[in-house]
Amino acid sequence: MCLLRYGFFRRSKVRIKLTIAYDGTNYAGWQIQKNALTIEEVLNKALTKLTGEQVAVIGASRTDSGVHAAGQIAVFDTDSSIPAERFSYAINQKLPADIVVLHSEAVPDDWHPRYQDKILKTYRYRILNTKEKDPLRRLYTAHVSFPLAIDNMQEASSYLLGTHDFTGFSNIKSEVLSGVRTITALELEKVGEEIALTITGDGFLYNMVRMIAGVLIRVGRGFYGPEKVKEILENRERTKDRLTAPACGLTLLEIRYDEE
């Protein structure tokens, strides 16, 4: 009794890493906002209710409004006695159906999802290239009713591989010290009625993948030649009129770290 009274058995804080999937349709992105519902806010409230502590998760990627995720990463600190590997089950009982924690585990106290020696993020952008819209795919693909020349789009996308200054593919609101990023893998393929752009890199600027998708769509329609991508990279000029493809087509597939 005395030992418990004076706190000798008090549990030290543990940092828990979560792998999260979500349908971003009904949310204003990941990051907390004053007047809109976000993924981060829902997670914080659910974890606070579960643990009885005031919890604030730290996410790896601030996905935009309407963007989905299959492998978002976040961490939080807790005194809870719930085993780390059981948090995924426990928290899912308190989350809405469009947010699911796929995995949970303990990590070192100083482990941060945005500051590691090596981080690779993979996104996929899906385009539904049919004459009519598909109501069953409208939330997860961008619809383009005009025929798209996949060969020209693939040629254009080849310019993106490697290390470049991607400032020309970032929103004018983006505030970063450097636009230099490295794209390590890129695949553009057509399967049936869908065209999928899968892109992996060490980081992405604000709206970068959606702007790349928007330019590739214009290439596919014949408004731009494939060399337009090279021109945008070289000019590094942000423009207000550059097409940003709809958020619904974008999914954060995976985040990998150097220790994995």
State the pairing for strand pair 68-78/99-107: unpaired
> Rounded CA gap, 60 and 253, in Å?
13
State the pairing for strand pair 250-257/68-78: parallel
Q: Which of 64, 77, 98, 165 is catalytic?
A: 64
Torsion sign across C-alpha atoms 194, 200, 201, 202: positive
Burial 37-60 (b: 16+ CB within 10 A, else e): ebbbbbbbebbeebbeeebebebb
Is 106 within 8 Å of 127 (Cβ atoms)?
Answer: no
> Rounded CA gap, 220 and 214, in Å?
10
How open is the CA angle 128-72-84, to the nearest 5 degrees?
145
Annotated catalytic, 165?
no
By annotation, the residues acting in catalysis are 64
